[in-house]
Chains A and B, each alone.
Chain A
Amino acid sequence: MATQQTLGERSMAAGLRALNRLASSSFVDRLGLREPAEWFLHGAAKTTVRTAANAGRTFQATRKLTAAARQPRAAAGSLFDLTPTDEQQMLRDAVRSFALERVRPAAEQADAGAAVPLELLSQANELGLSMVGVPEELGGALAERSAVTSVLMTEALAQGDMGFAVACMAPAGVSTALGLWGDAEQQATYLHEFLSHEVPAAAVCVLEPEPLFDPARLTTAARRIPGGFVLDGVKALVPRAADAELFIVAAALEDRGPALFIVESTTPGIAVEPEPAMGIRAAATGRVSFEQLKLPARALLGEASREIYTECIALGRLGWCALAVGTGQAVLDYVIPYVNERRAFGEPISHRQAVAFTVSNIAIECNGMRLATYRAASRADQGKSFLRETALARRLCSEHGMAIGSDGVQLLGGHGYVKEHPVERWYRDLRAAGLMEGALVP
Chain B
Amino acid sequence: MINLETPKKFELLVSQAHQVAVEVFRANSRKYDRAEHTYPKELDMLAAVLDGMRESGSLDGAGVATVGGGDGASAAAASDGSANRNGTNMASLLGLIELCWGDVGLLLTMPRQGLGQAAIAAVADDEQLRRFGGKWAAMAITEPEVGSDSASIRTTAKLDGDEYVLNGEKIFVTSGERAELVVVWATLDPSMGRPAIKSFVVERDNPGLKLDRLEHKLGIRASDTANFVLDNCRVPKENLLGSPEIEAKRGFSGVMQTFDNTRPMVAGMAIGVARACLQRTREVLEDAGLAIDYGAPPHAQSAAVSEFISMESDWEAARLLTLQAVWMADNRKPNSLQASMAKAKAGRTATDIALRCVALCGSVGYGEGELLEKWARDVKILDIFEGTQQIQLLIVARQLLQKTSAELK
Contact = CB atoms under 8 A, between A and B. Distances in A.
Interface of A: 74-85, 88, 148, 212-217, 310, 313-314, 332, 336, 339-340, 348, 350-351, 353, 356-357, 359-361, 363-365, 367-369, 371-372, 374-375, 377-379, 382, 384, 387-393, 395-396, 398-399
A258 to B, nearest CB: 11
Contacts of A314: 295
B408 A77 contact: no
B180 interface: no
A78 B79 contact: yes
Given A75-B1, A350-B408, A353-B393, 19 more contacts: A74-B1, A81-B2, A82-B324, A340-B402, A350-B401, A351-B409, A356-B393, A356-B403, A359-B401, A360-B394, A368-B314, A374-B2, A375-B320, A379-B5, A391-B313, A392-B309, A392-B316, A396-B314, A399-B313
Nearest to A356: B397
A316 to B, nearest CB: 12
Given A212-B300, A313-B295, A357-B393, A372 B1 contact: no
B164 interface: no
Contacts of B80: 77
A79 B321 contact: no
A187 B295 CA distance: 28
Nearest 5 CB-CB pairings of A with B: A368-B317, A356-B397, A371-B320, A375-B4, A391-B294
Contact of B295 (A357, A359, A377, A391): A391
Contact of B400 (A78, A80, A336): A336
Nearest to B341: A364
Interface in B247-279: none
Classify the secondary structure of B's interface with A: helix
Interface in B169-203: none
Given A336-B401, A375-B320, A80 B90 contact: yes
Nearest to B327: A80
Contact of A360 (B86, B300, B396): B396
A74 B2 CA distance: 11
Classify the secondary structure of A's interface with B: helix
Contacts of A364: 321, 341, 344-345, 396
A439 B146 CA distance: 55
Which among A75, A79, A357, A374 has the greatest number of chain B C-beta atoms within 10 A?
A: A79
A392 to B, nearest CB: 4
B396 A391 contact: no
Interface in B58-84: 78-80, 82, 84
Contacts of B79: 78
Contacts of A77: 1-3, 78, 80, 84
Interface of B: 1-9, 78-80, 82, 84-86, 90, 294-300, 309-310, 312-314, 316-318, 320-321, 323-324, 327, 341, 344-345, 390, 392-394, 396-398, 400-403, 407-409
19 contacts: A75-B1, A78-B8, A79-B86, A80-B3, A80-B86, A83-B82, A84-B2, A85-B1, A88-B2, A216-B295, A313-B295, A350-B397, A353-B408, A359-B401, A364-B344, A375-B320, A396-B314, A396-B316, A396-B317
Nearest to A339: B401
B6 to A, nearest CB: 6
B74 to A, nearest CB: 14
B408 A356 contact: yes
Contacts of B390: 353, 357
B4 A79 contact: no
A365 B317 contact: yes
A369 B407 CA distance: 30
Given A313-B295, A339-B401, A396 B313 contact: yes
Nearest to A347: B407
A244 B282 CA distance: 45
A429 B296 CA distance: 23
B79 to A, nearest CB: 7
A339 B402 CA distance: 12
A395 B4 contact: no
B295 A392 contact: no
Given A79-B7, A378-B2, A360 B310 contact: no
A375 B323 CA distance: 12
A336 to B, nearest CB: 6
Contacts of A74: 1
Contacts of A332: 400
Nearest to A363: B400
Contact of B321 (A213, A216, A353, A368): A368
B313 A372 contact: yes
B227 to A, nearest CB: 30
Contacts of A368: 314, 317-318, 320-321, 345
A79 B84 contact: yes
B401 A395 contact: no
B296 A371 contact: no
A382 to B, nearest CB: 8
B341 A367 contact: yes
A82 B2 contact: yes
B104 to A, nearest CB: 22
Contacts of A374: 2, 4
Contact of B393 (A360, A365, A372, A390): A360
Contacts of B401: 336, 339-340, 350, 356, 359
A369 B313 CA distance: 9
Given A80-B5, A360-B344, A371-B4, A395 B313 contact: yes
A179 B84 CA distance: 32
Given A339-B401, A387-B295, A369 B3 contact: no
Which among B7, B90, B408 has the greatest number of chain A C-beta atoms within 10 A?
A: B408
